[in-house]
Structure 1
């Protein structure tokens, strides 16, 4: 058992919708963790799948012996609803999020736990994915970074399957907003950054979507307009909460629209 001096129990939450072909790979990537002893359970939430996801979940529960598996079946309510169900059922004091079509590198939790050992003030820690470099305007993030609300208004990060956070956070800010269809994870991150110590580790430790592009390729992210409108609503909400000034909010609206136009062009060009 490695470096157990930093006591923590991690519940891994995996929402799944029509994920029969990929769910086992996601779970296996959790079981392959070098810091497996920190994981107290994997909670898989079937969000009303219409394929054989429920059957695959049962197979996983029988085959996986390294970590306790909790299975939840519910009516379809979207990713936020599934994540919330998993978080509420979790017994750990830390929550790690993973989507059914994503995978962790074997040292993902090791590097995050080591970072938390060195910086116990951290409440929320994300990391890089798919060998991408995080840039916030002209700033390239190359070391552990304490992110602000302003940063997250300019650039939404990290990817959801990289997130590790203290479960007690939801007691203060609430859960994922189940009324939002787009950019609900970015909304959650903004609310975390307003109240807690929000950090980013610039190491690529996650593989997302089995190789699909992050924007405009499939799923909800294919709706570029919906993503844009979702971010606009997040900015409105942040302004109403007093997190950003009216001047900064106005600048962000212009900036967001410019990004939206750029994404529309890139999507049409197939890039």
Structure 2
């Protein structure tokens, strides 16, 4: 059901996030955006103190519209889908429980989406581990994030993304449940196959995690490779009714490219592997 009051629904799934969830919530609270928003928190079966921290935040901020949902531990895809199913806003923004937003994030991004009604999904550049000297790209204002480009390059991370909810509902765009690596990229690609996307050049979020995962680095990179290839297979099968198709040759090239990305990730992981800064 659509609401005339809510401009942006903020979806935050969390699992055992007692060390970071309050920091994420405070970054939403400090937004300069003056239109009504709602926060949708989905507890993905946490066993630590994070649910009580969320409830404490809700009590301290009764002026904010906050929905606190629960589910058995099923992964972020199902949690985000649960959030999408209950969202009321014109736009939906996603925030991971261990990341934060710059204060102007929603204001800048919602204004961009309002000024570009053809854009169904937008993201922004971002900082890594609060290092504000590390930027992704120096382009002017924004660049187009289209399907073919995003097959070869990830244009934004989950915590920078804002989508137009009318497009999500019209097409029933959802995250593929049961997929634990690469589910975000597959979600992005399914949207930009049919609608324009954009990446704002200004960094408006901070990602507080190792770039390619903290525990079992090589194992995580191998999983990312497997799921990159799985995404290619899924997209290759999902060509019905879509004007942009992955041809057989491109399909094979993407397999080779995914292996090359794996090598690059191994190299970059050594470069960016830093301790996560405290809350």
Return the TM-score normalized by structure 2: 0.85
2:211–2:272 CA contact under 8 A, matched in 1: no
Superposed CA offset, 1:162-195 (max 9, x none): 1111112333143100121110000000000011
SS at match of 2:35: helix
| 1:103 lines up with 2:100 in the alignment | yes
The runs of 5 or more residues in structure 2 that have no matched partner are: 240-244, 274-279
| 2:192 equivalent in structure 1 | 193
2:218–2:266 CA contact under 8 A, matched in 1: no
Q: CA deviation at 1:93?
A: 2.3
Q: CA deviation at 1:84?
A: 0.8
Q: CA deviation at 1:64?
A: 1.6
Q: CA deviation at 1:8?
A: 6.3
| 2:14 equivalent in structure 1 | 16
1:94–1:164 CA contact under 8 A, matched in 2: yes
Q: CA RMSD in A?
A: 2.4
1:133–1:141 CA contact under 8 A, matched in 2: no
Partners of 2:63 and 2:9 lie apart in 1 by 14
Q: CA deviation at 1:266?
A: 4.8
Q: CA deviation at 1:267?
A: 4.2
Map 1:190-269; keep pairs closer than 5 Å.
190-209=189-208, 212-218=209-215, 223-242=220-239, 243-267=245-269
Partners of 1:99 and 1:269 lie apart in 2 by 23
| 2:49 equivalent in structure 1 | 52
1:157–1:186 CA contact under 8 A, matched in 2: no
Superposed CA offset, 1:93-147 (max 9, x none): 2111001111000011111122123222222111110055446xxxx74432222
Partners of 2:217 and 2:14 lie apart in 1 by 14
The runs of 5 or more residues in structure 1 that have no matched partner are: 1-6
| Residues 142, 245 of structure 1: alpha-carbon distance in 2 compared, 3 angstrom cutoff | farther
How many residue pairs get aligned? The number is 259
Partners of 1:31 and 1:221 lie apart in 2 by 37
| 1:94 lines up with 2:100 in the alignment | no
SS at match of 1:27: helix
Partners of 2:25 and 2:213 lie apart in 1 by 26
Match among 27, 31, 50 for residue 33 of structure 1: 31
Partners of 2:268 and 2:184 lie apart in 1 by 23
